[in-house]
Structure 1
Amino acid sequence: MLDSTLSDNSSCLIFMPARNCEMFAAEAIRSVSRQTMDDVFILYVNDASEDQTGDIAQHYLKELFPGRHAYIRNETRIGKSHNIWKHLRPRAGEAEFIGILDADDQLADMTILDKLAQRYGAGKDVVWTNYFTDNGHRGMNAALDPELSPRKQRWSTSHFFSFRAALLKNIPESYYKDQEGNWFQGACDVALALPILDQTRNYEFIPTPAYRYTSSNHLSLHNSTPKVNAITSKIQLQNSNQVFAKPPLPLFTNAKVEESVSMHQPDTTATHSAAPLSTDIWSEKAAQLLIARHPTLLSAQAICRADHLSALQLWSISELLQSASGDCLFIGAPDTALILTALAKDTPEIHLTCLVEEKEDAPHLRARLALLGLSEQTKVISGPLAKVEMNQQSCFFPACTELEGLAPLSLIVVDGRASENVETYTAIALPAVSEHLAERSFHFCALTGEVSTAQKIATTLGQLTVGLEFCTGALGGTGLVCFPANQE
């Protein structure tokens, strides 16, 4: 149900998520009405409350914020993170900045919104304050070191948290979900704040305890689920750990974040883009080193397309093979499979398996391996092509049923450049082989023609996975390499 009386855009949007807080609903709304700033709009989301929260909220919203509020009631409970995605995110363009006020809490400083507006007018992107609880506890919020990623610092930005509204649309849906793809039910403030903070270092902490946190609400999450301390529940701690483990979003370099296009890519502090190194001297040197290290490579290159892979791309793959051990997997074009076999020949610790299309590619590849005397160096398996879809894009991908029995994979190389949709082909490969990956130590490599394509693949994989580092341009100036964040 939606009851909206929005007329024009406002400077400040206060997001108030509510669930069974009838004892506190009225005073929470009154605390916003006492603010010295008038240009305020309230988005109030009643998450299927079973008490009188909705009736009370609607009464005070109509009385105190006529023409400046929207009231939404969910028919079923979906949780704060899902409410942010479903109800707050679509309104990100309707205000300059957004503040988060839980519907059982209060704003304690009646000038705080004016103070925030002054900071945003001066160009800040994120501003937060300290808080206190209704039982006398003073919060431990603090300033963050702008030289360090927020994900590497103590959680210090809880209440009252605000941010420039344009930052919200850059957060992918997956950042509000746990490892199983379920919406976070705990640590929802962390799930929102960290990807906001990822995007900028232009923030400010106001030490004023401007927010009254109601720790005595027996129906709140930290009181209604098993606790680990006075204000944190088990589910909050578990969800928080998963939030911190997600890859950071891109960091904007401009001092002030203006309205931006949506960017769903991993953080540039963890994703390294490189321009293609096409200088003749480097290509010539790489070719010399490759022939010295892999004598069979020249023969393999002679029966592949001459422009199939550059010397710098081959050198990058060779280096990865040198550091790998055990089972490795290649998926894609048979030309590349032939080249990888020549590279792997001189690394006895490597057991290479090549997955190619069933009808034509497999026999053609086996014949060329036999011609070069490399039949014993690699295992060729084939699978019928199946149509797969991801993000409303489709492609044909070889079935992975024949991978059963492989030892955990330490290296996966995918070449989808011949596919009609290289981005989907490459992105689907990682979840397709996920059950065969070495748990804490593997490299997933994607060959691409352009760095921009690698960046799009990294974007998609960042939405599908957690705990991975992404390095674009890592294969001879193009391509993508990703690996677990805490690689062993």
Structure 2
Amino acid sequence: MLEKSQAVRGLVFVCARDAEPYVERCLLGLAAQRSADFDVLFIDDASSDRTAALARALLQAHFAGRHTLVSSTERKGKARHAFEQLPGRTDADFIAVLDGDDELVDPDILGDLAHAYGDGFDVVWTNFVTDTGVDGGNGPLDPFDSPRSQGWQTSHFFSCRQALLARVPAAYFQDEQGQWLDCACDFAIAYPVLDQTRRYLYLPRTSYRYTTLNPLSHHLQGEPSGSLSSPRQRAAAATVLAKPPLPCWRPVHSHQVAMNHGLAVKLQQVHVDVAQCFARLESLEQQVREAPFVHLAMERLVRSEDIPLGWLRESGAWALDVGLLDHLADTMNRYQHPRVLEFGSGRGSKMLARLVANRGGRLVCVEHDPAWAARTGGEFAAHGLDAHAQVVHRPLVDTEFMGQPGLFYDMGFLAETDAFDIVIVDGPPARTCELARLPALPAVAAHLSAQGFHVYLDDHERAEEQEIVRRWLVAAPELQARALSFGKGVCEITPGA
């Protein structure tokens, strides 16, 4: 095992193809690292643009004497380049994988990786954020269980000890026909390495910005909703996971530091599991208490509002559950022809549209996901609700409220005279950014009915939504808030008395 006092050197493996718009940002992120105990291996994978020329100039300027540029005349893909270039690099203690269209955003991360490898860990990773502000969701692995059974927790800026990568056979980077994998290469590199060791370390910080908007990325191909993986990637990932795990020759119990860390991870997971069990029990108890009221609400919605029972059953735990729909029906009765705005469409939108249509009102659903927008609009048309309900597809754009940056729907579609009696805030998704729904109230403030209004913020049981309400009331103390409890928590915002 390496001692902390020994020098630990890393190699950053960068693979890029037609990355001209991104390569400068990528390499400058490396140049900003406070530690210089690493070399750069830059692979230009037969680009047709200026990727190689830009990389050459930047590498010479910032990494003189500690870089290698490989200009491949054949498109091989990251997995094949990793197999051909990395096993023989015995001058590096660890390898860190960085895509040429991504960047490091933590100037201390390579130095901290070196410390971790000096402490004897074999695989170290962090969290990432996308270029649209979405948290990557990485986390620790339980070293007492197979990594293949725990989900994909180590994505993007994966790093490992070089000796482990050197033991991976070529077949693990290939499909069943012996063709080199050209997507899901992160899977192909990581899993056979993770198989061999249980000495894992997750550093819980965001060190890496992952570019999702590169039009050449695999995850954008065939996925209109902008998913982070495409059908090709999922098929290649399945091929990787179908291969037999390599033997584990670096168990956790033979390394005390990793053992202590693993036990801490295990203990934390036990705490989480226990808390989740108590939360589920509490939820079940509440459902039993509320069952008679839910039954009455369902009967009213079916008989009086002409909402099919099948619609109510499919809503399940979605925002517009039976209790909230029943409450919204009462709220709409306060307005002659209710004008309703919904942020974020979903399975409950057609039921909301039926309530609005029954009262001769108008519903506008704002949705950033084109697939969901098309689905909701199609349901409105199929059930004859499109005369009273429409879906507006609007992208998320940069915004700021009370000093909090974020992303929110482009509200440019609203006319100056548009006004709403009821606003339901069920979007954007919380994972979009911190306090994702904070901009909702200021976005519609000028369009709230002067005769009175109701704003409903979904998921009020969450700490983030409670903080959003607190900030709203600080900015507009004339408003009042009331917590409501249905299938999920909801906060009702109205003008003060």
TM normalised by structure 2 equals 0.48
Instruction: Identify the structure with bigger relative contact order (alpha carbons < 8 Å, sequence gap 6+).
Output: 1
